Structure 1
Amino acid sequence: MDKKQMVYVVSDSVGETAELMVRAVASQFNDGEVEIQHFSYVENQDDIHNVLCAAKSTHSIIAYTIVISSLKSYLDERAREEGITAIDLMNPLMQAFSQAFNKDPIRQPRLMRKLDDNCFRRVEAIEFAVKYDDGQDVRGLKKADIVLIGVSRTSKTPLSMYLAHKRFKVANVPLVPEVSPPDELFQLPRNTCVGLVITPDKLNEIRKERLKNLGLLPMANYADFDRILEELDYAETIMKRIGCPIINVSNKAVEETADLILAMLKKRGAGIHE
Protein backbone atom coordinates (compact mmCIF):
# COMPACT_ATOMS: atom_id res chain seq x y z
CA MET A 1 0.00 0.00 0.00
CA ASP A 2 1.33 3.41 -0.90
CA LYS A 3 -0.51 5.13 1.93
CA LYS A 4 -2.44 4.09 4.97
CA GLN A 5 -5.97 3.02 4.09
CA MET A 6 -9.05 3.04 6.29
CA VAL A 7 -11.12 -0.03 7.05
CA TYR A 8 -14.23 0.04 9.19
CA VAL A 9 -14.57 -3.10 11.28
CA VAL A 10 -18.21 -3.64 12.15
CA SER A 11 -19.57 -6.30 14.47
CA ASP A 12 -22.54 -7.13 16.69
CA SER A 13 -19.87 -8.31 19.18
CA VAL A 14 -16.38 -6.95 19.94
CA GLY A 15 -15.05 -7.29 16.39
CA GLU A 16 -11.80 -9.09 17.22
CA THR A 17 -12.30 -11.70 14.49
CA ALA A 18 -12.85 -9.08 11.81
CA GLU A 19 -9.81 -7.07 12.89
CA LEU A 20 -7.54 -10.13 12.80
CA MET A 21 -8.69 -10.98 9.29
CA VAL A 22 -8.28 -7.40 8.08
CA ARG A 23 -4.74 -7.24 9.44
CA ALA A 24 -3.92 -10.65 7.92
CA VAL A 25 -5.08 -9.44 4.49
CA ALA A 26 -3.36 -6.06 4.86
CA SER A 27 -0.05 -7.82 5.55
CA GLN A 28 -0.14 -9.11 1.97
CA PHE A 29 0.04 -5.60 0.54
CA ASN A 30 3.51 -4.06 0.81
CA ASP A 31 3.97 -2.68 4.32
CA GLY A 32 0.53 -3.75 5.47
CA GLU A 33 -0.33 -0.34 6.90
CA VAL A 34 -4.05 0.02 7.51
CA GLU A 35 -6.03 2.14 9.92
CA ILE A 36 -8.92 0.37 11.54
CA GLN A 37 -11.96 2.08 12.96
CA HIS A 38 -14.19 -0.03 15.21
CA PHE A 39 -17.97 -0.08 15.32
CA SER A 40 -18.59 -2.74 17.95
CA TYR A 41 -21.84 -4.06 19.43
CA VAL A 42 -23.93 -2.86 16.49
CA GLU A 43 -27.57 -3.44 17.47
CA ASN A 44 -29.85 -1.52 15.10
CA GLN A 45 -30.17 0.16 11.72
CA ASP A 46 -29.15 3.55 13.14
CA ASP A 47 -25.77 2.05 14.05
CA ILE A 48 -25.43 0.71 10.50
CA HIS A 49 -26.37 4.11 9.06
CA ASN A 50 -23.61 5.80 11.04
CA VAL A 51 -21.05 3.31 9.77
CA LEU A 52 -22.10 3.81 6.17
CA CYS A 53 -21.88 7.60 6.45
CA ALA A 54 -18.39 7.36 7.91
CA ALA A 55 -17.19 4.88 5.28
CA LYS A 56 -18.61 6.91 2.39
CA SER A 57 -17.03 10.17 3.54
CA THR A 58 -13.58 8.56 3.76
CA HIS A 59 -13.89 6.28 0.69
CA SER A 60 -13.22 3.29 2.93
CA ILE A 61 -14.32 -0.31 2.92
CA ILE A 62 -16.30 -2.14 5.57
CA ALA A 63 -15.36 -5.56 6.92
CA TYR A 64 -18.03 -7.02 9.12
CA THR A 65 -18.99 -9.96 11.30
CA ILE A 66 -22.72 -9.61 11.86
CA VAL A 67 -24.78 -12.70 12.54
CA ILE A 68 -28.19 -11.03 12.99
CA SER A 69 -29.87 -11.58 9.62
CA SER A 70 -31.90 -8.35 9.56
CA LEU A 71 -28.85 -6.17 10.26
CA LYS A 72 -26.72 -8.04 7.73
CA SER A 73 -29.35 -7.62 5.01
CA TYR A 74 -29.75 -3.93 5.79
CA LEU A 75 -26.02 -3.34 5.67
CA ASP A 76 -25.61 -5.22 2.37
CA GLU A 77 -28.50 -3.38 0.73
CA ARG A 78 -27.51 0.10 1.87
CA ALA A 79 -23.85 -0.49 1.00
CA ARG A 80 -24.83 -1.40 -2.58
CA GLU A 81 -27.00 1.71 -2.83
CA GLU A 82 -24.17 3.94 -1.63
CA GLY A 83 -21.47 2.23 -3.70
CA ILE A 84 -19.54 1.15 -0.60
CA THR A 85 -17.57 -2.09 -0.51
CA ALA A 86 -18.83 -4.16 2.42
CA ILE A 87 -17.30 -7.60 3.00
CA ASP A 88 -19.07 -10.25 5.06
CA LEU A 89 -16.34 -12.27 6.77
CA MET A 90 -18.56 -14.88 8.43
CA ASN A 91 -21.53 -15.75 6.23
CA PRO A 92 -19.70 -17.77 3.52
CA LEU A 93 -18.23 -20.08 6.15
CA MET A 94 -21.55 -20.32 8.02
CA GLN A 95 -23.26 -21.33 4.78
CA ALA A 96 -20.62 -24.01 4.22
CA PHE A 97 -21.23 -25.30 7.77
CA SER A 98 -24.98 -25.36 7.18
CA GLN A 99 -24.65 -27.36 3.98
CA ALA A 100 -22.02 -29.75 5.30
CA PHE A 101 -23.63 -30.43 8.68
CA ASN A 102 -27.27 -29.90 7.70
CA LYS A 103 -27.82 -27.45 10.55
CA ASP A 104 -28.89 -23.84 10.77
CA PRO A 105 -26.73 -21.33 12.67
CA ILE A 106 -28.10 -19.89 15.91
CA ARG A 107 -27.31 -16.35 14.74
CA GLN A 108 -26.81 -15.11 18.25
CA PRO A 109 -24.11 -12.46 18.76
CA ARG A 110 -21.33 -12.68 21.35
CA LEU A 111 -21.35 -16.47 21.61
CA MET A 112 -17.57 -16.56 21.12
CA ARG A 113 -17.16 -14.29 24.12
CA LYS A 114 -19.25 -16.73 26.19
CA LEU A 115 -17.05 -19.60 25.00
CA ASP A 116 -13.95 -17.64 25.98
CA ASP A 117 -15.39 -16.99 29.44
CA ASN A 118 -16.16 -20.69 29.88
CA CYS A 119 -12.64 -21.58 28.80
CA PHE A 120 -11.17 -19.10 31.29
CA ARG A 121 -13.27 -20.51 34.13
CA ARG A 122 -12.21 -24.05 33.22
CA VAL A 123 -8.52 -23.13 33.27
CA GLU A 124 -8.98 -21.30 36.57
CA ALA A 125 -10.74 -24.32 38.09
CA ILE A 126 -8.00 -26.70 36.92
CA GLU A 127 -5.31 -24.47 38.42
CA PHE A 128 -7.33 -24.38 41.64
CA ALA A 129 -7.60 -28.18 41.77
CA VAL A 130 -3.84 -28.54 41.31
CA LYS A 131 -3.01 -25.93 43.93
CA TYR A 132 -5.34 -27.35 46.56
CA ASP A 133 -4.86 -31.05 45.84
CA ASP A 134 -4.18 -33.49 48.69
CA GLY A 135 -4.58 -30.88 51.44
CA GLN A 136 -1.57 -28.85 50.25
CA ASP A 137 -3.04 -25.52 51.32
CA VAL A 138 -6.05 -25.50 53.65
CA ARG A 139 -6.73 -21.85 52.82
CA GLY A 140 -8.34 -23.07 49.62
CA LEU A 141 -11.09 -24.97 51.43
CA LYS A 142 -13.27 -21.92 52.01
CA LYS A 143 -12.81 -20.84 48.39
CA ALA A 144 -13.82 -24.20 46.94
CA ASP A 145 -17.17 -25.05 45.35
CA ILE A 146 -16.65 -28.66 46.41
CA VAL A 147 -14.36 -30.25 49.01
CA LEU A 148 -13.64 -33.99 48.77
CA ILE A 149 -12.41 -35.97 51.75
CA GLY A 150 -11.39 -39.61 52.10
CA VAL A 151 -8.51 -42.01 52.68
CA SER A 152 -5.75 -42.49 50.13
CA ARG A 153 -6.80 -44.09 46.80
CA THR A 154 -10.46 -43.11 46.86
CA SER A 155 -10.13 -41.15 43.59
CA LYS A 156 -10.01 -37.71 45.22
CA THR A 157 -7.51 -36.26 42.74
CA PRO A 158 -9.06 -37.73 39.55
CA LEU A 159 -12.46 -36.52 40.71
CA SER A 160 -11.09 -33.06 41.48
CA MET A 161 -9.64 -32.77 37.97
CA TYR A 162 -12.76 -34.14 36.29
CA LEU A 163 -14.98 -31.67 38.12
CA ALA A 164 -12.50 -28.88 37.38
CA HIS A 165 -13.00 -29.53 33.66
CA LYS A 166 -16.67 -28.85 34.38
CA ARG A 167 -15.58 -25.48 35.82
CA PHE A 168 -15.97 -26.32 39.53
CA LYS A 169 -13.28 -25.28 41.99
CA VAL A 170 -12.47 -28.44 43.94
CA ALA A 171 -10.14 -29.01 46.89
CA ASN A 172 -9.48 -32.38 48.48
CA VAL A 173 -8.15 -33.45 51.86
CA PRO A 174 -6.73 -36.90 52.74
CA LEU A 175 -7.89 -38.42 56.02
CA VAL A 176 -5.11 -40.15 57.95
CA PRO A 177 -5.47 -41.33 61.59
CA GLU A 178 -2.10 -39.86 62.61
CA VAL A 179 -2.90 -36.42 61.18
CA SER A 180 -5.69 -34.25 62.61
CA PRO A 181 -7.95 -32.79 59.91
CA PRO A 182 -7.60 -29.03 59.45
CA ASP A 183 -9.96 -26.90 61.54
CA GLU A 184 -11.18 -25.24 58.32
CA LEU A 185 -12.79 -28.53 57.31
CA PHE A 186 -15.26 -28.31 60.18
CA GLN A 187 -16.11 -24.70 59.39
CA LEU A 188 -17.39 -25.47 55.89
CA PRO A 189 -21.08 -25.49 55.03
CA ARG A 190 -22.18 -29.13 55.10
CA ASN A 191 -23.47 -28.85 51.55
CA THR A 192 -19.95 -28.15 50.26
CA CYS A 193 -18.13 -31.23 51.53
CA VAL A 194 -18.42 -34.82 50.21
CA GLY A 195 -16.92 -37.91 51.81
CA LEU A 196 -15.57 -40.74 49.66
CA VAL A 197 -15.47 -44.29 51.02
CA ILE A 198 -14.55 -47.66 49.57
CA THR A 199 -14.82 -51.31 50.64
CA PRO A 200 -11.76 -52.70 52.48
CA ASP A 201 -11.26 -55.48 49.90
CA LYS A 202 -11.30 -53.07 46.98
CA LEU A 203 -8.95 -50.64 48.70
CA ASN A 204 -6.58 -53.47 49.58
CA GLU A 205 -6.51 -54.55 45.95
CA ILE A 206 -5.89 -51.01 44.68
CA ARG A 207 -3.14 -50.30 47.20
CA LYS A 208 -1.34 -53.59 46.47
CA GLU A 209 -1.33 -52.72 42.78
CA ARG A 210 -0.05 -49.25 43.62
CA LEU A 211 2.84 -50.69 45.66
CA LYS A 212 3.63 -53.11 42.83
CA ASN A 213 3.85 -50.23 40.35
CA LEU A 214 6.18 -48.42 42.73
CA GLY A 215 8.37 -51.50 43.09
CA LEU A 216 7.60 -51.89 46.80
CA LEU A 217 6.67 -54.99 48.81
CA PRO A 218 2.92 -55.72 48.73
CA MET A 219 2.86 -56.37 52.48
CA ALA A 220 3.87 -52.79 53.34
CA ASN A 221 1.73 -51.09 55.99
CA TYR A 222 0.04 -49.05 53.26
CA ALA A 223 -1.78 -52.17 52.01
CA ASP A 224 -2.10 -53.99 55.33
CA PHE A 225 -5.72 -55.03 55.82
CA ASP A 226 -5.90 -54.07 59.50
CA ARG A 227 -4.40 -50.70 58.67
CA ILE A 228 -7.00 -50.19 55.95
CA LEU A 229 -9.83 -50.96 58.38
CA GLU A 230 -8.38 -48.47 60.86
CA GLU A 231 -8.18 -45.74 58.20
CA LEU A 232 -11.72 -46.35 56.96
CA ASP A 233 -13.16 -46.30 60.49
CA TYR A 234 -11.31 -43.06 61.21
CA ALA A 235 -12.49 -41.47 57.96
CA GLU A 236 -16.11 -42.43 58.63
CA THR A 237 -15.89 -40.88 62.10
CA ILE A 238 -14.68 -37.58 60.61
CA MET A 239 -17.35 -37.62 57.90
CA LYS A 240 -20.10 -38.20 60.46
CA ARG A 241 -18.72 -35.40 62.59
CA ILE A 242 -18.85 -33.04 59.61
CA GLY A 243 -22.27 -34.33 58.57
CA CYS A 244 -21.39 -34.44 54.88
CA PRO A 245 -22.90 -36.78 52.28
CA ILE A 246 -20.92 -39.97 51.67
CA ILE A 247 -20.40 -41.83 48.40
CA ASN A 248 -19.03 -45.35 48.07
CA VAL A 249 -16.66 -45.27 45.07
CA SER A 250 -15.78 -48.99 45.13
CA ASN A 251 -17.15 -49.94 41.72
CA LYS A 252 -17.85 -46.53 40.23
CA ALA A 253 -16.16 -44.74 37.36
CA VAL A 254 -14.97 -41.19 38.02
CA GLU A 255 -17.70 -39.82 35.75
CA GLU A 256 -20.40 -41.70 37.65
CA THR A 257 -19.16 -40.49 41.02
CA ALA A 258 -18.92 -36.92 39.74
CA ASP A 259 -22.55 -37.02 38.57
CA LEU A 260 -23.61 -38.30 41.98
CA ILE A 261 -21.67 -35.54 43.73
CA LEU A 262 -23.29 -32.81 41.65
CA ALA A 263 -26.75 -34.31 42.09
CA MET A 264 -26.32 -34.58 45.86
CA LEU A 265 -25.04 -31.05 46.25
CA LYS A 266 -27.82 -29.61 44.09
CA LYS A 267 -30.37 -31.44 46.21
CA ARG A 268 -28.84 -30.02 49.39
CA GLY A 269 -29.00 -26.48 47.98
CA ALA A 270 -25.31 -25.89 47.39
CA GLY A 271 -25.92 -23.60 44.43
CA ILE A 272 -24.12 -25.97 42.06
CA HIS A 273 -24.78 -25.19 38.42
CA GLU A 274 -23.12 -26.73 35.38
Structure 2
Amino acid sequence: MYNVIVISDSLGETAEQTAKAALSQFENLDYKIQRFSHILTLDQLENIISSVEDFNNSIFFYSLVDEFLLTSIKKILDLKKANYIDVMTPSIIAIERMCGISPSIKPGALRKLDENYFKRVEAIEFAVRFDDGKDSRGILRSDLVIVGVSRTSKTPLSMYLANKNYRVCNIPLVPETTPPKELFEIPNSKIIGLTNTPENLNKIRVERLKSLGIPQGSSYSDLNRILEEIDFAMDIMQKIGCPIIDVSNRAIEETADIIINYLKKQQKKFI
Protein backbone atom coordinates (compact mmCIF):
# COMPACT_ATOMS: atom_id res chain seq x y z
CA MET A 1 0.00 0.00 0.00
CA TYR A 2 1.41 3.36 -1.06
CA ASN A 3 0.57 6.54 0.81
CA VAL A 4 -0.30 9.70 -1.09
CA ILE A 5 -0.28 12.76 1.16
CA VAL A 6 -1.91 15.91 -0.19
CA ILE A 7 -1.14 19.17 1.63
CA SER A 8 -2.74 22.50 0.74
CA ASP A 9 -3.21 26.00 2.13
CA SER A 10 -6.75 25.88 0.68
CA LEU A 11 -9.06 22.88 0.20
CA GLY A 12 -6.49 20.85 -1.72
CA GLU A 13 -8.81 19.77 -4.50
CA THR A 14 -6.40 20.89 -7.23
CA ALA A 15 -3.46 18.98 -5.72
CA GLU A 16 -5.57 15.88 -5.13
CA GLN A 17 -6.92 15.87 -8.69
CA THR A 18 -3.35 16.22 -9.99
CA ALA A 19 -2.29 13.27 -7.86
CA LYS A 20 -5.22 11.15 -9.04
CA ALA A 21 -4.55 12.01 -12.68
CA ALA A 22 -0.94 10.85 -12.31
CA LEU A 23 -1.84 7.74 -10.33
CA SER A 24 -4.41 6.71 -12.95
CA GLN A 25 -1.54 6.05 -15.34
CA PHE A 26 -0.42 3.08 -13.22
CA GLU A 27 -2.60 -0.01 -13.39
CA ASN A 28 -3.32 -2.05 -10.26
CA LEU A 29 -1.50 0.38 -7.99
CA ASP A 30 -2.66 -0.01 -4.41
CA TYR A 31 -2.70 3.34 -2.68
CA LYS A 32 -4.63 5.56 -0.28
CA ILE A 33 -4.88 9.34 -0.34
CA GLN A 34 -4.84 11.55 2.74
CA ARG A 35 -5.71 15.19 2.22
CA PHE A 36 -4.83 17.96 4.65
CA SER A 37 -6.53 21.27 3.97
CA HIS A 38 -5.96 24.85 5.17
CA ILE A 39 -2.37 24.25 6.30
CA LEU A 40 -1.09 27.73 7.13
CA THR A 41 1.53 27.24 9.88
CA LEU A 42 4.83 25.39 10.30
CA ASP A 43 3.45 23.49 13.32
CA GLN A 44 0.63 22.08 11.21
CA LEU A 45 3.11 21.09 8.53
CA GLU A 46 5.49 19.37 10.96
CA ASN A 47 2.66 17.47 12.65
CA ILE A 48 1.51 16.03 9.32
CA ILE A 49 4.99 14.96 8.23
CA SER A 50 5.88 13.48 11.64
CA SER A 51 2.77 11.27 11.46
CA VAL A 52 4.12 9.49 8.37
CA GLU A 53 5.77 6.16 9.26
CA ASP A 54 7.08 4.92 5.91
CA PHE A 55 8.63 7.60 3.71
CA ASN A 56 9.89 5.08 1.15
CA ASN A 57 6.34 4.17 0.18
CA SER A 58 4.90 7.66 0.48
CA ILE A 59 4.68 10.63 -1.87
CA PHE A 60 3.67 14.19 -1.03
CA PHE A 61 1.68 16.42 -3.35
CA TYR A 62 1.60 19.93 -1.94
CA SER A 63 -0.05 23.14 -3.09
CA LEU A 64 1.32 26.01 -1.00
CA VAL A 65 2.02 29.63 -1.93
CA ASP A 66 3.57 31.02 1.27
CA GLU A 67 7.34 31.27 0.68
CA PHE A 68 8.27 30.28 4.25
CA LEU A 69 6.09 27.15 4.15
CA LEU A 70 7.40 26.23 0.71
CA THR A 71 11.01 26.47 1.87
CA SER A 72 10.23 24.58 5.09
CA ILE A 73 8.41 21.65 3.51
CA LYS A 74 11.14 21.18 0.91
CA LYS A 75 13.87 21.14 3.57
CA ILE A 76 11.97 18.72 5.81
CA LEU A 77 11.11 16.32 3.00
CA ASP A 78 14.65 16.42 1.64
CA LEU A 79 15.96 15.47 5.09
CA LYS A 80 13.47 12.59 5.18
CA LYS A 81 14.52 11.62 1.64
CA ALA A 82 10.85 11.66 0.79
CA ASN A 83 9.20 11.76 -2.63
CA TYR A 84 7.34 14.98 -3.28
CA ILE A 85 5.74 17.14 -5.96
CA ASP A 86 5.25 20.92 -5.74
CA VAL A 87 1.98 21.25 -7.64
CA MET A 88 1.68 25.04 -7.80
CA THR A 89 5.09 26.74 -7.87
CA PRO A 90 6.36 25.66 -11.36
CA SER A 91 3.15 26.95 -12.97
CA ILE A 92 3.32 30.26 -11.08
CA ILE A 93 6.98 30.77 -12.07
CA ALA A 94 6.27 29.96 -15.73
CA ILE A 95 3.40 32.46 -15.89
CA GLU A 96 5.47 35.09 -14.08
CA ARG A 97 8.27 34.68 -16.62
CA MET A 98 5.82 34.98 -19.49
CA CYS A 99 3.95 38.10 -18.37
CA GLY A 100 6.52 39.80 -16.15
CA ILE A 101 3.95 40.31 -13.38
CA SER A 102 4.57 39.19 -9.80
CA PRO A 103 1.94 36.78 -8.41
CA SER A 104 -0.36 37.94 -5.62
CA ILE A 105 0.51 34.92 -3.45
CA LYS A 106 -2.95 34.43 -1.99
CA PRO A 107 -3.76 31.01 -0.46
CA GLY A 108 -6.97 29.64 -1.94
CA ALA A 109 -6.95 32.07 -4.89
CA LEU A 110 -7.69 29.27 -7.35
CA ARG A 111 -10.54 28.05 -5.16
CA LYS A 112 -12.06 31.53 -5.18
CA LEU A 113 -11.76 31.57 -8.98
CA ASP A 114 -13.50 28.19 -9.18
CA GLU A 115 -16.29 29.37 -6.88
CA ASN A 116 -16.80 32.44 -9.05
CA TYR A 117 -16.92 30.27 -12.18
CA PHE A 118 -19.50 27.87 -10.79
CA LYS A 119 -21.58 30.74 -9.45
CA ARG A 120 -21.68 32.24 -12.93
CA VAL A 121 -22.63 28.92 -14.51
CA GLU A 122 -25.43 28.50 -11.96
CA ALA A 123 -26.66 32.04 -12.70
CA ILE A 124 -26.71 31.37 -16.45
CA GLU A 125 -28.62 28.11 -15.97
CA PHE A 126 -31.05 29.98 -13.73
CA ALA A 127 -31.62 32.68 -16.38
CA VAL A 128 -32.34 30.05 -19.03
CA ARG A 129 -34.69 28.08 -16.81
CA PHE A 130 -36.72 31.10 -15.75
CA ASP A 131 -36.62 33.03 -19.02
CA ASP A 132 -39.75 34.69 -20.41
CA GLY A 133 -42.03 33.70 -17.53
CA LYS A 134 -41.54 29.94 -18.00
CA ASP A 135 -41.81 29.33 -14.26
CA SER A 136 -42.92 32.09 -11.89
CA ARG A 137 -41.42 30.21 -8.94
CA GLY A 138 -38.07 31.64 -10.00
CA ILE A 139 -39.24 35.08 -8.86
CA LEU A 140 -38.83 34.17 -5.19
CA ARG A 141 -35.32 32.79 -5.76
CA SER A 142 -34.01 35.59 -7.97
CA ASP A 143 -31.51 38.30 -7.21
CA LEU A 144 -33.42 40.37 -9.74
CA VAL A 145 -36.69 40.17 -11.68
CA ILE A 146 -37.02 42.02 -14.97
CA VAL A 147 -40.51 42.86 -16.24
CA GLY A 148 -41.71 44.54 -19.40
CA VAL A 149 -43.49 44.12 -22.72
CA SER A 150 -42.15 41.94 -25.49
CA ARG A 151 -38.95 43.09 -27.28
CA THR A 152 -37.60 45.32 -24.52
CA SER A 153 -34.40 43.20 -24.33
CA LYS A 154 -35.44 41.26 -21.23
CA THR A 155 -33.76 38.01 -22.27
CA PRO A 156 -30.39 39.36 -23.50
CA LEU A 157 -30.23 41.60 -20.45
CA SER A 158 -30.93 38.63 -18.17
CA MET A 159 -28.11 36.65 -19.80
CA TYR A 160 -25.71 39.58 -19.59
CA LEU A 161 -26.42 40.00 -15.87
CA ALA A 162 -26.13 36.24 -15.34
CA ASN A 163 -22.58 36.50 -16.64
CA LYS A 164 -22.03 38.98 -13.81
CA ASN A 165 -23.25 36.30 -11.35
CA TYR A 166 -26.77 37.68 -10.85
CA ARG A 167 -29.64 35.19 -10.82
CA VAL A 168 -32.24 36.85 -13.01
CA CYS A 169 -35.66 35.82 -14.21
CA ASN A 170 -37.78 37.89 -16.57
CA ILE A 171 -41.53 38.15 -16.82
CA PRO A 172 -43.42 39.44 -19.88
CA LEU A 173 -46.33 41.76 -19.13
CA VAL A 174 -49.22 41.03 -21.47
CA PRO A 175 -52.77 42.46 -21.12
CA GLU A 176 -54.36 39.03 -21.53
CA THR A 177 -52.29 37.48 -18.75
CA THR A 178 -52.52 38.21 -15.04
CA PRO A 179 -49.07 39.02 -13.63
CA PRO A 180 -47.70 36.34 -11.28
CA LYS A 181 -48.68 36.93 -7.65
CA GLU A 182 -45.02 36.43 -6.66
CA LEU A 183 -44.22 39.86 -8.14
CA PHE A 184 -46.10 41.40 -5.24
CA GLU A 185 -44.53 39.12 -2.63
CA ILE A 186 -40.91 40.27 -3.00
CA PRO A 187 -39.36 43.69 -2.27
CA ASN A 188 -39.87 46.09 -5.18
CA SER A 189 -36.15 46.86 -4.93
CA LYS A 190 -35.54 43.45 -6.53
CA ILE A 191 -37.65 44.29 -9.59
CA ILE A 192 -36.72 46.38 -12.62
CA GLY A 193 -39.24 47.44 -15.24
CA LEU A 194 -38.26 48.00 -18.86
CA THR A 195 -40.06 50.09 -21.43
CA ASN A 196 -39.43 51.43 -24.90
CA THR A 197 -41.01 53.94 -27.25
CA PRO A 198 -43.97 52.72 -29.34
CA GLU A 199 -42.07 53.64 -32.53
CA ASN A 200 -39.03 51.60 -31.59
CA LEU A 201 -41.11 48.62 -30.56
CA ASN A 202 -43.00 48.80 -33.84
CA LYS A 203 -39.78 48.72 -35.87
CA ILE A 204 -38.26 45.92 -33.80
CA ARG A 205 -41.38 43.78 -33.99
CA VAL A 206 -41.81 44.30 -37.74
CA GLU A 207 -38.23 43.08 -38.24
CA ARG A 208 -38.86 40.19 -35.89
CA LEU A 209 -41.88 39.07 -37.91
CA LYS A 210 -39.86 39.31 -41.13
CA SER A 211 -37.13 37.10 -39.67
CA LEU A 212 -39.77 34.52 -38.76
CA GLY A 213 -41.36 34.69 -42.22
CA ILE A 214 -44.67 35.95 -40.86
CA PRO A 215 -46.61 38.35 -43.16
CA GLN A 216 -47.14 41.91 -41.98
CA GLY A 217 -50.49 42.82 -40.47
CA SER A 218 -50.11 40.84 -37.27
CA SER A 219 -51.42 42.53 -34.14
CA TYR A 220 -47.99 41.88 -32.62
CA SER A 221 -46.53 44.82 -34.54
CA ASP A 222 -49.69 46.93 -34.67
CA LEU A 223 -49.05 50.36 -33.15
CA ASN A 224 -52.38 50.50 -31.30
CA ARG A 225 -51.74 47.07 -29.81
CA ILE A 226 -48.25 48.20 -28.73
CA LEU A 227 -49.69 51.29 -27.03
CA GLU A 228 -52.17 49.07 -25.20
CA GLU A 229 -49.34 46.79 -24.00
CA ILE A 230 -47.21 49.73 -22.85
CA ASP A 231 -50.10 51.23 -20.89
CA PHE A 232 -50.83 47.87 -19.26
CA ALA A 233 -47.17 47.28 -18.37
CA MET A 234 -46.69 50.79 -16.99
CA ASP A 235 -49.76 50.35 -14.80
CA ILE A 236 -48.41 47.09 -13.35
CA MET A 237 -44.90 48.50 -12.80
CA GLN A 238 -46.31 51.56 -11.04
CA LYS A 239 -48.41 49.33 -8.77
CA ILE A 240 -45.28 47.36 -7.91
CA GLY A 241 -43.37 50.60 -7.34
CA CYS A 242 -40.23 49.39 -9.08
CA PRO A 243 -37.72 51.50 -11.03
CA ILE A 244 -38.52 51.77 -14.74
CA ILE A 245 -35.81 52.08 -17.37
CA ASP A 246 -36.46 53.33 -20.89
CA VAL A 247 -34.22 51.12 -23.03
CA SER A 248 -34.78 53.05 -26.25
CA ASN A 249 -31.42 54.05 -27.75
CA ARG A 250 -29.56 52.22 -24.97
CA ALA A 251 -27.16 49.34 -25.49
CA ILE A 252 -27.57 46.20 -23.34
CA GLU A 253 -24.32 47.02 -21.53
CA GLU A 254 -25.53 50.52 -20.66
CA THR A 255 -28.82 49.28 -19.24
CA ALA A 256 -26.97 46.54 -17.34
CA ASP A 257 -24.62 49.10 -15.77
CA ILE A 258 -27.60 51.14 -14.58
CA ILE A 259 -29.13 48.04 -13.01
CA ILE A 260 -25.90 46.85 -11.38
CA ASN A 261 -25.25 50.27 -9.86
CA TYR A 262 -28.82 50.34 -8.57
CA LEU A 263 -28.50 46.87 -7.00
CA LYS A 264 -25.22 47.80 -5.32
CA LYS A 265 -26.84 50.89 -3.81
CA GLN A 266 -29.70 48.74 -2.51
CA GLN A 267 -27.25 46.30 -0.93
CA LYS A 268 -25.41 49.11 0.88
CA LYS A 269 -28.66 50.16 2.55
CA PHE A 270 -28.73 46.87 4.43
CA ILE A 271 -25.04 46.74 5.39
Is the counterpart of residue 49 in structure 1 residue 62 in structure 2? no
Local SS of the residue matching 1:64: strand
> Following TM superposition, by how much is the alpha carbon of 1:44 offset from its aligned partner in structure 2, in angstroms?
0.8
TM-score normalised to structure 1 length: 0.90
Aligned position for 1:17? 14
Is the counterpart of residue 67 in structure 1 residue 65 in structure 2? yes
Of the structure 1 ranges 237-246 and 35-44, higher mean CA displacement relative to structure 2 is found in 35-44
The one-letter code matched in structure 2 to 1:17 is: T
Change (3 A) 1:157 1:272: farther
Is the counterpart of residue 198 in structure 1 residue 196 in structure 2? yes
Tell whether the 8 Å contact from 1:26 to 1:33 is kept in structure 2 after alignment.
no
Change (3 A) 1:22 1:241: closer
Tell whether the 8 Å contact from 1:23 to 1:34 is kept in structure 2 after alignment.
no
Runs of 4+ with deviation above 6 angstroms: 270-273
Of the structure 1 ranges 53-62 and 109-118, higher mean CA displacement relative to structure 2 is found in 53-62
> Following TM superposition, by how much is the alpha carbon of 1:34 offset from its aligned partner in structure 2, in angstroms?
2.9
| Separation of aligned partners in 1, 2:177 and 2:37 | 57
> Following TM superposition, by how much is the alpha carbon of 1:269 offset from its aligned partner in structure 2, in angstroms?
4.6
| Separation of aligned partners in 1, 2:20 and 2:129 | 39
The one-letter code matched in structure 2 to 1:22 is: A
| Separation of aligned partners in 1, 2:114 and 2:247 | 34
Aligned position for 2:236? 238
Change (3 A) 1:265 1:58: closer
Change (3 A) 1:213 1:17: same
| Separation of aligned partners in 1, 2:191 and 2:64 | 45
Unaligned runs of 5+ in 2: none
TM-score normalised to structure 2 length: 0.91
> Following TM superposition, by how much is the alpha carbon of 1:22 offset from its aligned partner in structure 2, in angstroms?
2.5
Offset from partner CA, 1:115-171 (integer Å, 9 cap, x none) = 222222222222222222222222221221111111100011111111112121112
| Separation of aligned partners in 1, 2:265 and 2:27 | 63
Local SS of the residue matching 1:171: strand
Equivalent residue runs for 1:118-267 within 5 Å: 118-267=116-265
| Separation of aligned partners in 1, 2:246 and 2:143 | 21
| Separation of aligned partners in 1, 2:117 and 2:134 | 25
Local SS of the residue matching 1:216: coil
Change (3 A) 1:97 1:218: same
Change (3 A) 1:234 1:37: closer
Change (3 A) 1:265 1:51: closer
Of the structure 1 ranges 184-193 and 17-26, higher mean CA displacement relative to structure 2 is found in 17-26
Local SS of the residue matching 1:43: coil
Tell whether the 8 Å contact from 1:262 to 1:272 is kept in structure 2 after alignment.
no
> Following TM superposition, by how much is the alpha carbon of 1:69 offset from its aligned partner in structure 2, in angstroms?
1.2
> Following TM superposition, by how much is the alpha carbon of 1:35 offset from its aligned partner in structure 2, in angstroms?
2.8
Tell whether the 8 Å contact from 1:151 to 1:231 is kept in structure 2 after alignment.
yes
| Separation of aligned partners in 2, 1:23 and 1:235 | 56
Tell whether the 8 Å contact from 1:67 to 1:109 is kept in structure 2 after alignment.
yes
Q: Return the match for 2:4 from 4, 7, 15.
A: 7
Aligned position for 2:101? 103
Change (3 A) 1:230 1:49: same
Tell whether the 8 Å contact from 1:10 to 1:62 is kept in structure 2 after alignment.
yes
Change (3 A) 1:270 1:217: farther
Aligned position for 1:76? 74
Give the fraction of aligned pairs with identical amino acids, expressed as a percent.
Answer: 47
| Separation of aligned partners in 2, 1:123 and 1:135 | 20
Alpha-carbon RMSD across the aligned residues, in angstroms, is 2.2
Change (3 A) 1:272 1:210: farther
